[in-house]
A and B are shown apart, each in its own frame.
Chain A
Amino acid sequence: MKLNSIFLSHKKGTENSETIAMPLPARVKISMSQHMGAPCEPTVAKGDRVLVGQVIGESNAFMSCPVHSSVSGTVAAISELLTAGGKVCKMVEIDTDGEQEVSPDVKPPVITDKASLCEAVRQSGCCGMGGAGFPTHIKLNFDESKYKVDTLVINAAECEPYITSDYREMMENADDVMCGIKLVRDMLGLKKVVIGIEDNKPQAIKLMREKSADDESIEVKVLKSCYPQGAEKVIIFNATGRVVGEGQLPSDQGVIVMNVTTAGFIGEYSKTGMPLISKRITVDGDVVSTPCNVKVPIGTSAEDILKFGDCDKEKVRKALFGGPMMGMCLYELDTPVTKTTNAILAFGEKADKKKGIEDRCTQTNCIKCGRCISACPLNLMPTELEKAYDRRDKEALMKLKVGLCMNCGSCSYVCPAKRDLAEKNQLAKAFIRT
């Protein structure tokens, strides 16, 4: 069996750009909602001096992890933020003092078993850095009596066009990646590790193979360069042959999936104890004159980063956090970077049509060509789903399994009638929950 996929032009123009540390911005705005779990409450107040790595947001919720300051400086305000996802949450604005004084709380963790690993990972503020942002310690802390997890899948597919930050992580930080992988494997007692990399990154495949040559339990699996190779269910299937069923977690199939940058961070954290306060970001798009990879403190605004890439903000008509297939449009350019941001793409107006970044295209009637059905990696029928949603037919939507849709956008991409099929699926998912 082979899953459906589509082919996109890679546009990985920044793959050879070594990561540059961006100069400190004058002010960072750190969102209290950094991942898909519960948002944190600020633990600092206006006027407080904060240090690098100091906890500034905490939550008692199960699905949450603390937020740390990425700079040293003074809290200027605690205000509200409209996130790229359209939600409103609290944020802590910090004026940087340029000293980058490290908090005394920052010290390497002692990790001896699964429990201490999970606690350390929680304290590090780590969440999945592939995009969805699932708090990592919850993923690692599976119930051993319930799930027989034996395999760790490292997701290094990076199937979205433009983005190269995971690739740079592997090229620049290979030792930390391996260290993180081995730490997780040993503490959780996993038998096998599969690193899935798309075949458009031969250098990374070579390097990862070299680094894992002495370890039989680590396999580097070369995957076809196609979209959405990096989607969780897709990479689990292509790397291990296991099918994560409806309503199941990967651990139901004995698998844990972790993004390669997350693994690299865990490796680094185990050595330094520095929590997740900076992020490698690919800056690209047709109005960015100097596309590059930059390491930025969490909370840096998109505007500052685009300026670093020599982008004239007057020309920007559409800016994205993430890739062009699943990324989210920014309402305002001063939206700050979060832990899950892996790219900032900026597009202008004139090149709209040529570059394929379009405003909403004119929709025409569905001609039943079936392209969406042969594009859907999960074998759904987007055209049928759209019709079912248009007549608000809850039963048909459930029967057609709209809940499985992961919003990869392949159906919308291939549609000759330019119908917003992926958007309809999202609406339908919200509709059946009501």
Chain B
Amino acid sequence: MEKMLVSPSPQIRDNISTSKVMTHVLVALCPALAMSAYVFGGRALMLTGFCMITALIWERLCNLIMKRPDSTKDVSALVTGMLLAFNLPVTMPYWQAAIGTFVAIVIVKQLFGGLGQNFANPAIVGRIVLMLAFTGNMTHWVVPFYDPDNIVTGATPLAAAHSAPADYLDLFLGKVGGCLGEVSAAALLIGGIYLIMMKIISVHTPLAFIGTVFVFSYLCGEDGIYQILAGGVMLGAFFMATDYVTTPVTKTGKVIFGIGCGIITCVIRFFGSYPEGVSFSILLMNILTPYIDMITKTKPLGAITKKKEAKSE
């Protein structure tokens, strides 16, 4: 008889793994991908695929150079690649997109120690770097259903909020200009609801984020619904502000995080010089996350806190 296996309890584990979580996120992003392919044509799919593949290549190269175990199987690189692609305009040159995934995977994630150790959302930083480096290309918005031979550009609905506001229904369904993944609020909502139902993300962050944008916009005299549907709020709230690694762990922390994101987004949109503030808001809140975690520790059942101890003495 072979030797018996002895291991510490528990002997059973839930049927979930990091790669499964990431695969669920990929699935949840698919409706938005389909919508962007419908609105912007085949290049949307090509660009997304390109970002995913380059992200995977950077990840594997890092593993090899840093002599770390293969981390491509956890699917997180694919999610980062897809999210970054969703933040790009459809006309973005491929080589610039590759720089974006390089920044995201190599600089933000692997150099900090790989998945779980990065302090900021890789896709967000990738987008911000591209935005600062290639501002022209990153703000080159084509109109929906464009003719590749005769590209007509237009303003994003957010930039045109006051001059030529888009129709609510067009905004909701995605018949507007903008980044690949941001256009259709409906598709993102479907993906977000899928993630919540699969218990991959909790409802706290998106609700706090979107709710704050609505309320803050209303208080500033802006159109709250328009502010939610246009731009990156939906993508950010459901897919970027819910990234496990770079956001608080407790429910209270998640609510604080969402409210913070909402406020910063609105402040940048209404008072800053950029038309869009979602990525900056998430990055800023990422930086605050360790502090939010510090002040939102859970209270163990029946635990005696310092104050009570002092009293009883």
Contact = CB atoms under 8 A, between A and B. Distances in A.
B21 interface: yes
Ranked 3 nearest A-B pairs via Cβ: A409-B10, A365-B116, A245-B302
A38 interface: no
A378 B114 contact: no
Contacts of A314: 1
B8 A420 contact: yes
Contact of A413 (B10, B114, B300): B10
Contact of B12 (A161, A243, A360, A366): A161
A360 B8 CA distance: 9
B297 A381 contact: yes
B10 A412 contact: yes
Interface in B117-152: 117
Interface stretch (B51-59, B157-165, B242-250, B261-269): B242-250
Contacts of B20: 416
Interface string B2-15: 10111111111111
B9 A422 contact: yes
B310 interface: no
Contacts of A143: none
B301 interface: yes
A3 B4 contact: no
B74 interface: yes
Main secondary structure of the interface of B (DSSP, over half): loop
20 contacts: A244-B302, A247-B304, A316-B4, A318-B7, A324-B10, A325-B11, A326-B9, A329-B5, A359-B5, A361-B13, A366-B116, A367-B115, A368-B244, A370-B244, A373-B250, A377-B301, A413-B13, A414-B14, A420-B8, A423-B9
Interface in B10-39: 10-18, 20-21
Contacts of B8: 420, 422-423, 426
Interface string B297-310: 11111111000000
A331 B4 contact: yes
B25 to A, nearest CB: 12
Nearest to B15: A356
Given A330-B6, A413-B13, 20 more contacts: A246-B302, A246-B303, A313-B1, A318-B6, A331-B4, A356-B12, A357-B11, A358-B12, A365-B115, A366-B116, A373-B298, A379-B300, A381-B249, A400-B297, A404-B302, A412-B9, A416-B20, A416-B21, A417-B18, A422-B10
Interface residues of B, number: 39
A8 B117 CA distance: 31
A21 to B, nearest CB: 28
A360 B7 contact: yes
A434 interface: no
Interface string B54-85: 00000000000000000000100000000000
Most chain A beta-carbon neighbours within 10 Å: one of B1, B4, B250: B4
- Greatest chain A CB density within 10 A among B9, B18, B297 is at B9
B13 A418 contact: yes
A200 to B, nearest CB: 17
A55 interface: no
A324 B140 CA distance: 58
